[in-house]
Amino acid sequence: MTKSIGILTAGGDSPGLNAAIRAIGKSAIRQHGWNVIGFKDGFRGLMQNRIMRLDNDLLSGILTTGGTILGTGRDKPHRMKVGEKVLDMTDVMIDNFNHHNLDALVCLGGGGTHKNALILSEKGLPIITLPKTIDADLVGTDATLGFDTALGIATEAVDRLHSTAHSHHRIIVVEIMGHNVGWLTLGAGLGGGADVIVIPEIPYSVDAISEAISLRQAAGSTFSIVAVAEGAVSAKLAEMIDEIPDSDDAPEQVKRLLKKRKTTVEIAAQLEKSTGLEARVTILGHVQRGGAPSPMDRVVATKLGVAATAAVAAGRTGVMVASRGEGVELIPIADVAGKVHLVPHDHPWVQSARALGVCMGDRP
């Protein structure tokens, strides 16, 4: 009997998703003669049985396009809004999977997607995941779909901001995506020549940043570029979080405190007041997710997509296809879900920045 596989994309969109869908589909059809269907709009599409039959015609011409032809969503299988209620819809999803006689479901996504995939995997569905996130916050993989493209976009933005900062003798504060980790901000700041880089892993002090900018002024520099991750946390707030005692309510207390994080606009206003320099804010936002994937993201997506099909052929499920150097490695989804790939304080990128005199928002 001919094998059939399903594909869905979940979480935020990112460049490289279509390239991965193409690689999974074309290798499944051309190498094995399998049937391939896509579920629209993530796990909700699986629940509602909304499908797209993927053939060579649909898979052609999408390598270079951004976004995902399947659509995406952030629904949780076990806590999905249906009408006015929030219900566990995992059994419905399993029924739809079985209705199509699928041999495996390939889920492309980030941290939330891997948690959801683990739930379905533990209920018996043969699941394979691919790491997709511009934040690069998944453990166990050297590369994630979308990071390289987003890094290029953010770095180019920092490059372009230099000219206006220099011309107007301003502080330019540029906000870069990254709620919980700072890989994208650190890479763009280092690659774009930012003078200050502020990431969630290293709590910042506005006084420390102001001092660094003032030292630049004293040395003759009339402008500064400050790259700030959207999830940056002040030293004071980080101290309050550290003082929360362990309890069942601790995660909720942390969430409430994190809502008090200063916005990039507020940070810029403080810097303007303390340094006497005019400060302006640029928020890159979703532009970092858009556009055609970089060549490297296309290559990684193709490598991972073909490997996902090979894993199905070998009967390997319950795994994430991780990028390891030039090859791949199959890692249990349970070893990935719920874990975050943070920037170590002694990472070579951090050490390189400090060696060049870049302020990391603290007083090292």
| Chain CA centroid to CA 350, Å | 20
- Residue 120 contacts residue 337 (beta carbons within 8 Å): no
DSSP letter at 212?
H
> Are β-strands 224-229 and 51-53 bridged in parallel, bridged antiparallel, or unpaired?
unpaired
Take residue 109 and report the two structure tokens written for it.
């996504």
CA dihedral sign, ordered 193, 156, 349, 182: positive
- Give bridge partners of residue 229 from the DSSP assignment: 176
Distance between CA atoms of residues 93 and 77, nearest Å: 8
- Residue 317 contacts residue 128 (beta carbons within 8 Å): yes
Question: Is 41 a known active-site residue?
Answer: no
**Considering 13, 135, 195, 297, which one is annotated as catalytic?**
135
- Give bridge partners of residue 174 from the DSSP assignment: 227, 282
- Residue 294 contacts residue 145 (beta carbons within 8 Å): no
Catalytic residue ranges: 135
